[in-house]
A and B are shown apart, each in its own frame.
Chain A
Amino acid sequence: MITVEHLTKRYGAFTAVDDVSFTCVPGTVTGFLGPNGAGKSTTMRMISGLTPPTSGSTTVNGVAFRDLPNPGRHIGVLLDASAQHSGRTGREILSLSAQLLGVGRKRVDAMLELVGLAGAPEKRRVGNYSLGMRQRLGLAHALLGDPSVLMLDEPANGLDPEGIFWMRGVLRDFADRGGTVMLSSHLLREVEAVADHLVVIGNGKIVADGAKTELLHAGGLYVRGLDAALLEKALTEAGLSVQPTRDGGFSVAADAESIGRAALAAGVVLLELRPADSGGLEEMFLRLTSHPDAQKDAA
C-alpha cells in the first residue's frame, strides 16, 4: 500500500510536483504515467525518502518511509538501474544488500535465478552489463527483501520484447499474490498491458486517476467520416468536444446518437462510429499531458 497526500515539491519558482494525491492498493498494479519531466521520478524519490517534499506526505503500508524499520523488507525500490557501482559483480551487489536486509544467501541465489542472471552473468561486473541486464538486477534487488510493495521507475527501459513480456509476468504475479505494484513509464502501451489502475501526471499535476477500464471508456467514441473537415465542423457546431486523431477520425466525448444526428444534419457520410479502442487512451494521454511543446510534437 502506497499513499500519497497533497505532495508538493518546489525548486525555487519551479513546481515539479503540485499537490499530488493518489493511492496504490494491494493486489493491483498501478501505472504511473506521464511524459518526461512530468514529475514521476521526483514523486517516487519523495515516497522513498530520498527527496524531502516541500509539503504533503507519503506513507508505505501506513508508515512514513523514514519510520519503516528496515524499509527494504516492506518496499522494494528501483529508481535507476544504472545507479550501481560498476566495479561490483551482480552477485556482490545483491549480497551486500542481503547482508543489510538480514536475508540469507539462498534468497540471493533465488533472485538471481528468477531474473535470469544466475550462473556466468552474476560473476560479471555490472559495468559490463547491458541496460536490460541492469534492469533485471534492479528487479532482483527490489525483490530481495521479500517486500509487500514494489515501486519501479521505468523498469522496462532497455529490456527487449521478451524481457518486457517476462517482467509483466513477474509484476502481475506479484500483484496477484496480494502485493502492491507501482511502476512508472512514459510509454502508455507498456503500462496498459499490465496495469489495473492508472495515475496520469502532467506538469506536476495529476490529470487522471482511475481504473484502466474506466479511463479507457473516458476516451469516448471514435468517429470517422468521408469528409473530415465537414464532420469536425458539424460536431463542433453541435457543441460536442472533438479531438482529432492521427488517422483522420475524431474521438468525441458524447453518446452515439448525438454524433449520428450531428453528422446527419450536416449530411456527412460516416465510415466508422464506435467506442474508442485502447488508442483512445493514447489520445487521452496526449491530451491530458499536453503542454505547448507536446502539442507541437503531436501536430
Chain B
Amino acid sequence: MSALATPAAGTHRPTRTSRPSLARLTAVELRKATDTRAGFWLLAVIALVALGMVLIQMFTGDAADRTFSDFLVGAQLPVGLLLPVVGILAVTGEWSQRTTLSTFALEPRRERVVAAKLSAAVLMAVGVVVASLAWAALANVVAPLVTDADGSWSFGAEDFGRVVLFQVIGMLVGSAFGLALLSTPLAIVLYFVLPTAWTILGTTISALETPAEWLNYQATTMPLIDDGGLSGTEWGQLGTSLALWLLLPLAFGLWRVLRSEIK
C-alpha cells in the first residue's frame, strides 16, 4: 500500500509543452531499431558479414585487388543485401508488435514519425558504411603483413559518397516497401522477389530489354559500387528506376500510414 502514498502525478498545472523536435524523434527511432534482440543482432550480423567479406578478399583473388578501395567496395554487396531488411523491420515491427498505438498517440502527426524513421534509416546506413570503412582499413594494414597485397590507400571522397549513396538507397527502398505493405513477411519477400522477377522478365522478353535497363533498380545501383563513377545515362537510369522502386512505394506507404486506422 506504500504505492498509494506516492503521488501519481504532479500538480496538473497547465503545462506549456513544445513538439518533440525531429532530431529527438530520430534519436528515439534509432534506439528502437537497436534495443530489441532482432534489431541488435541483425545489425551485428551485418557488421560481421562485412568483416567476413574483407577476410575472404584477403586470402583469395589477386594481390593487386587487395587495396583499401577493393576491401571497402567488396564488403558493400552482402551488406547491401541485408541492410534493407533493417529498414523494413524498423517500419513493419511497429505494426506487427502493435506499438503504433503508443507511437502515434505520443506523436499524432504521423508524417513526422515517418520522417524520423527515414532519417534514422539513413543514419544507420551511413553508420554501417563507416563501420565497413574501419574493417577495410584494418584489412589494408594487416594484409601486406600476412600475404601479398597491393596495399594502396587511394580512395576519393567521391568514391565514399557513392558507396554511402548505394547503402542509403537500399535502406530507403526497404523502408518504403515496409511503409507500403506494413507487414514484415510480405515486405521482405516482395523486396527480394519483385526486383529478381523484373530482372528475369527483362532478360527473357526482348521487348522489355530497354525498359529494364532504366527500371531495374538492382542493375542501376550497381555502377555506384563499381570503379570509375557513373555516366550521365547511368545517373538517368538510376533516377528513373528509383522513381519506380523508391518514390512510388514511399508515396503509397505515406498515404496509407497517414489515413489508416491504428488498431
Q: Chain A residues near B109 (CB, 8 Å)?
A: 66
Bound-state Cα–Cα, A102 to B261, Å? 27
The listed residue (B100, B101, B106) touching A97 by CB distance below 8 A is B106
The listed residue (A73, A84, A100) touching B24 by CB distance below 8 A is A100
A90 at the interface (CB under 8 A from B): no
Kindly identify, within residues 143 to 159 of chain B, every residue whose CB is under 8 Å from any CB belonging to chain A.
none
B36 at the interface (CB under 8 A from A): yes
Q: Chain A residues near B17 (CB, 8 Å)?
A: 68-70, 73-74
Q: Are A49 and B108 in touch, CB under 8 angstroms?
A: yes
Q: Are B97 and A146 in touch, CB under 8 angstroms?
A: no
Bound-state Cα–Cα, A74 to B31, Å? 24
Stretch at the interface among A171-179, A191-199, A244-252: A171-179
Bound-state Cα–Cα, A33 to B117, Å? 38
Max chain B C-beta neighbours (<10 A), residue from A85, A87, A143: A85
Chain A, residues 163-176, CB within 8 Å of chain B (1/0): the string is 00010011001100
Q: Are B99 and A84 in touch, CB under 8 angstroms?
A: yes
Q: Are A50 and B104 in touch, CB under 8 angstroms?
A: yes
B244 at the interface (CB under 8 A from A): no
Bound-state Cα–Cα, A52 to B14, Å? 27
Task: Bin the interface of chain A by size.
Answer: 35 or more
Q: Are B99 and A100 in touch, CB under 8 angstroms?
A: no
A141 CB, min distance to chain B CBs, angstroms: 7
Kindly identify, within residues 65 to 113 of chain A, every residue whose CB is under 8 Å from any CB belonging to chain B.
65-66, 68-74, 77, 79-80, 82-88, 92, 96-97, 99-102, 110, 113
Bound-state Cα–Cα, A48 to B100, Å? 12
B232 at the interface (CB under 8 A from A): no
A267 at the interface (CB under 8 A from B): no
Residue of B nearest to A97 (CB): B106
Bound-state Cα–Cα, A51 to B110, Å? 12
Q: Chain A residues near B107 (CB, 8 Å)?
A: 71, 100
Q: Are A102 and B24 in touch, CB under 8 angstroms?
A: yes
Bound-state Cα–Cα, A59 to B11, Å? 21
B4 at the interface (CB under 8 A from A): yes
Bound-state Cα–Cα, A9 to B197, Å? 42
Q: Are B27 and A99 in touch, CB under 8 angstroms?
A: yes
Q: Are A83 and B104 in touch, CB under 8 angstroms?
A: no
A148 at the interface (CB under 8 A from B): yes
B101 CB, min distance to chain A CBs, angstroms: 4
B233 at the interface (CB under 8 A from A): no
Q: Are B28 and A147 in touch, CB under 8 angstroms?
A: no
Q: Are A52 and B259 in touch, CB under 8 angstroms?
A: yes
B115 at the interface (CB under 8 A from A): no
Q: Are A72 and B105 in touch, CB under 8 angstroms?
A: yes
Residue of B nearest to A77 (CB): B105
Bound-state Cα–Cα, A154 to B10, Å? 24
Chain B, residues 1-31, CB within 8 Å of chain A (1/0): the string is 1011011111110110111100011011001
B35 at the interface (CB under 8 A from A): yes
Known pairs A70-B18, A87-B38; A52 contacts B102 (CB<8 A): no
Q: Are B102 and A173 in touch, CB under 8 angstroms?
A: no
Chain A, residues 108-140, CB within 8 Å of chain B (1/0): the string is 001001111000000000000000000000000
A61 at the interface (CB under 8 A from B): yes
Q: Are B97 and A86 in touch, CB under 8 angstroms?
A: yes
A45 at the interface (CB under 8 A from B): yes
Q: Are A141 and B102 in touch, CB under 8 angstroms?
A: yes
Bound-state Cα–Cα, A166 to B5, Å? 11
Q: Are B6 and A84 in touch, CB under 8 angstroms?
A: no
B93 at the interface (CB under 8 A from A): yes
Known pairs A72-B105, A79-B105, A174-B9; A52 contacts B261 (CB<8 A): yes
B162 at the interface (CB under 8 A from A): no
The listed residue (B3, B24, B100, B106) touching A72 by CB distance below 8 A is B106
Max chain A C-beta neighbours (<10 A), residue from B8, B24, B99, B100: B8
Q: Are A79 and B97 in touch, CB under 8 angstroms?
A: no
A101 CB, min distance to chain B CBs, angstroms: 7
Bound-state Cα–Cα, A21 to B89, Å? 40
Q: Are A179 and B9 in touch, CB under 8 angstroms?
A: yes
Q: Chain B residues near A102 (CB, 8 Å)?
A: 20, 24
B256 at the interface (CB under 8 A from A): no
Bound-state Cα–Cα, A143 to B10, Å? 10
Residue of B nearest to A68 (CB): B108
Bound-state Cα–Cα, A69 to B24, Å? 14
B27 CB, min distance to chain A CBs, angstroms: 7
Q: Are A99 and B24 in touch, CB under 8 angstroms?
A: yes
29 residue pairs from A and B, CB less than 8 Å apart: A45-B261, A48-B108, A49-B105, A50-B101, A50-B261, A51-B262, A65-B108, A66-B109, A71-B107, A79-B101, A80-B101, A83-B101, A85-B99, A96-B31, A96-B32, A96-B35, A100-B106, A101-B20, A102-B24, A110-B6, A113-B6, A114-B8, A143-B8, A148-B12, A148-B14, A148-B15, A173-B8, A177-B7, A179-B9
Q: Which residues of A contact B (CB under 8 A)?
A: 26, 45, 48-52, 61, 65-66, 68-74, 77, 79-80, 82-88, 92, 96-97, 99-102, 110, 113-116, 141, 143, 146-148, 166, 169-170, 173-174, 177-179
Give 9 nearest A-B pairs by CB, closest first: A83-B98, A50-B262, A87-B36, A49-B108, A70-B17, A73-B17, A148-B12, A83-B101, A85-B97
